Amino acid sequence: MLSNLDPSAQQFLNGLNRIGNRMSDAQRQITTGLRVTSVADDPDQISTLLTARAHLESAKQIQTNLGRVKGEVDTAEQSLQSAVQLFEQARTQAAEGNTSVATAASRAALGQQIGSILQQLVGIAGTTVEGRLIFSGDKDQTVPYTIDLTQTNPVSAYQGSAATRLVEHPNGTTFAVSETAQQIFDSADPTTNVFATLNAARNALAANDDTAIQNAVSAFVKTGEYLNSQLAFYGTVQNKVAEATDFAQTLQTQLQTQISGLQDADLTQAILELNQAQTQQQAALQARARVPRTTLFDFLA
């Protein structure tokens, strides 16, 4: 397609278009506050910008996840604090039954009180957060234990599963945030099994058996240490969650700063560019208006 414009006119229009594009770009930056709104605005930086945005969204999601985990871990830690307190009550009651003044009747009453504590610990094992049984491992819709105090061995077998869930740290690592009721209360080692220790004391007191009562009282020491170590596990996890949350917040701030540097407009520079372009446009139009226009009629006059 041939142009009807002479070269000087075409050059003028090309220059005017370039000035118009600069004005449009400057006006867009002033209006949106952004220097980059599409790939064409800065092709060399768009990949870095998109990567930073993706990392920011990931950090935000991880922080949201950590917020939910914090609620679960805090509840678990509070539940185990209650469990430790109940266990210490049972230890005191067993010790009361191991005195020379204890009678068969008083021991039977103490055994019933320990049975009640055993029942409460089974209830703690069924603690829920947002509809999830937090001590049932991956089977978080299954109650881990049931109890029937009319039985010699009143606590059922563990009904949950192992806890394999890991939580993502914003630095890319993962960490475990939970233990199962089986790990906490029903250890495979009988010397650290909370349920077994309480039940042995309950049965010994009910039977008014001096030797069994003495053995049961002694068993509380090691089992109590073990239960406290399970409480300490959740204290450690609380610290990990808090550290990961702080890390996520810091990372988001860094990424937002990076993104801002890549895409945000320099408003002062954009306003200056717009003013300069407008001045140049006006000057170009005025200069073009002063260009002599000679026609065939000028030569025939």
164 and 64 co-located in one domain: yes
For position 212, what pLDDT does the model report?
A: 97
For position 220, what pLDDT does the model report?
A: 97
What residues contact 138, with CB distance under 8 A and at least 6 apart?
160, 161, 162, 163, 164, 165
Closest to 96 (Cα-Cα) out of 191, 195, 205 = 205
Residue 298 included in any domain:
no
72 and 25 co-located in one domain: no
62 and 153 co-located in one domain: yes
Residue 159 included in any domain:
yes
Residue 145 included in any domain:
yes
| CATH classification of the domain holding 136 | 1.20.1330.10
Residue 119 included in any domain:
yes
74 and 222 co-located in one domain: yes
Question: Rounded to an integer, what distance in angstroms lies between the CA atom of residue 37 and that of residue 262?
Answer: 11
For position 261, what pLDDT does the model report?
A: 73
Number of structural domains, the chain? Answer: 2
Question: Rounded to an integer, what distance in angstroms lies between the CA atom of residue 44 and that of residue 266?
Answer: 18
147 and 271 co-located in one domain: no
Residue 275 included in any domain:
yes
What stretches of the chain show up as alpha helix (H) in DSSP? 7-32, 43-96, 104-125, 181-185, 194-207, 210-263, 267-289, 296-300
16 and 131 co-located in one domain: no
Give how far the C-alpha of residue 71 lies from the chain's centroid of Cα atoms, to the nearest Å. 10
Residue 144 included in any domain:
yes
Which structural domain range is residue 209 located in?
51-258
61 and 117 co-located in one domain: yes
8 and 90 co-located in one domain: no
269 and 254 co-located in one domain: no
DSSP annotation of 190: G
DSSP annotation of 40: G
91 and 110 co-located in one domain: yes
31 and 150 co-located in one domain: no
Per-residue tokens: 180:
């199962």
pLDDT 10s digit of each residue in the chain, 301 long?
445 656 766 766 676 577 666 666 656 666 666 666 655 555 766 788 788 889 989 999 999 999 999 999 999 999 999 999 999 999 999 999 999 999 999 999 999 999 999 999 999 999 999 999 999 999 999 999 999 999 989 999 999 999 999 999 999 999 999 999 999 999 999 999 999 999 999 999 999 999 999 999 999 999 999 999 999 999 999 999 999 999 999 999 999 888 777 666 555 665 666 667 667 667 666 666 676 665 555 555 5
Residue 42 included in any domain:
no
Question: Rounded to an integer, what distance in angstroms lies between the CA atom of residue 272 and that of residue 123?
Answer: 71
Question: Rounded to an integer, what distance in angstroms lies between the CA atom of residue 153 and that of residue 203?
Answer: 9
125 and 245 co-located in one domain: yes
For position 1, what pLDDT does the model report?
A: 45
Secondary structure element (H or E) that encloses residue 13, with its range: helix 7-32
